[in-house]
Homo-oligomer: A and B are copies of this chain.
Amino acid sequence: MSDMINVGIIGGSGYTGGELMRLLLRHPYVNIEAATSRRLAGKDVCDTHTHLRGFLDMNFEDLSPDEIKERCNVVFVAVPHGTSMNIVPQLLDGNTKVIDLSADYRLKTSVFEQVYEIKHTNPIDAVFGLVELHPGVANEIFVSNPGCYPTGAILSAAPLVTAGLVDAAIFDSKSGISGAGINPSVTSHYPNMAENIQPYKLTTHRHRVEIFQELNRLDNSLTNISFTPHVIPSVRGILTTAHIFTKSTLSADEVRRIYTDFYKDKPFVRVIDGIPTLSAVRGSNFCDIGFEVDTQNNRVVVVSAIDNLVKGASGQAIQNMNLMCGFEETEGLWVAGIAP
């Protein structure tokens, strides 16, 4: 039997903040103690996250890092990159456990500064919180939560890469528009997105570097890694089509064995027989993976599907919290998706 913990969310007014609350409400050992928003301080949380009406009776607060860590055992930081680095270090001098959902601590400092084109003011080493590859998060008090695209892309390729079988990997990813955030923009304008699909940053998206870092860590001879993102007319979900060129011809059975072995103790990865689809993971923390072998080109096409706001953000953050706090990995997260 576990004790209850108090949890705080810095930056609670966005989609990842709302999703953290929706999911934490089901967690038997969590009390949602505070959610901050400078802009909405004093306003009812449920005026923003209207689906939570009746479940939360709290207002957004404008709290300093010191104030929130005073009241909380765990703090999630859900603010834009570049902002997080000024908050995290102040949270880390006590017993508070911290999970950062921004990009600030995912990459080596030098790489971060080059890719994000800003100076890192407070470098700290952090584990990359993709639990399936980094079970060591269980011993950490600070974890950096992965990006949404990298989560689906890395999981789709990790087994073959770890086996040293990959020559090159092209990740062609398709994301729901909620990834662009809660604030209206040209991209998220309904008439621009409906009946459309919008590729962007064809070769230069920042998440490519996260994917590279993690896959190259698994096989440092692998450098030919490409990533192209698209936005599709869906709210949630990231489907990644990984075109993986292998060093030799593999049979479907071999590939299946490699994937099922690799993920055999990972409750949130489901290696399936058919082709994954966003419907089957919506609202859940699962990553579904399926594949087909292209015998003509030494290519394996692997498809992964996640909910970008759950396994791609808030669910994965709670998965990290569970391990960091000694809870079951699945605690509060063992919920089926919603379909149709």
Could you list which residues of chain A lie within 8 angstroms of chain B, going by C-beta atoms? 15, 18, 22, 25-26, 49-55, 168, 170, 172, 174, 176-178, 182-186, 188-200, 202-204, 224-226, 228, 230, 232-237, 239, 241, 243, 267, 270, 272, 275, 277-284, 286, 288, 291-297, 299, 301, 303, 335-340
Contacts and interface: CB of A to CB of B under 8 A. Distances in A.
Given A195-B236, A198-B277, 5 more contacts: A51-B280, A184-B185, A184-B189, A191-B235, A202-B303
A51 B282 contact: yes
B234 A279 contact: no
A193 B278 CA distance: 10
25 contacts: A50-B279, A50-B280, A51-B284, A51-B337, A53-B286, A53-B288, A54-B270, A172-B172, A174-B174, A176-B195, A190-B190, A194-B233, A195-B237, A197-B232, A197-B237, A197-B277, A198-B275, A199-B239, A202-B294, A203-B294, A203-B296, A224-B297, A225-B297, A243-B243, A338-B338
Contacts of A185: 184
Interface centre among A197, A283, A288 (most CB of B within 10 A): A197
B270 A336 contact: no
B184 A279 contact: no
Copy number in the complex reads 4
B51 A278 contact: no
A177 B192 CA distance: 11
Interface centre among A195, A226, A243, A301 (most CB of B within 10 A): A195
Contacts of A293: 203
B192 A189 contact: no
Nearest to A195: B234
Contacts of A182: 189, 191, 340
B203 A53 contact: no
Nearest to A208: B296
A275 B295 CA distance: 32
Contacts of A26: 335
Contact of A51 (B183, B190, B281): B281
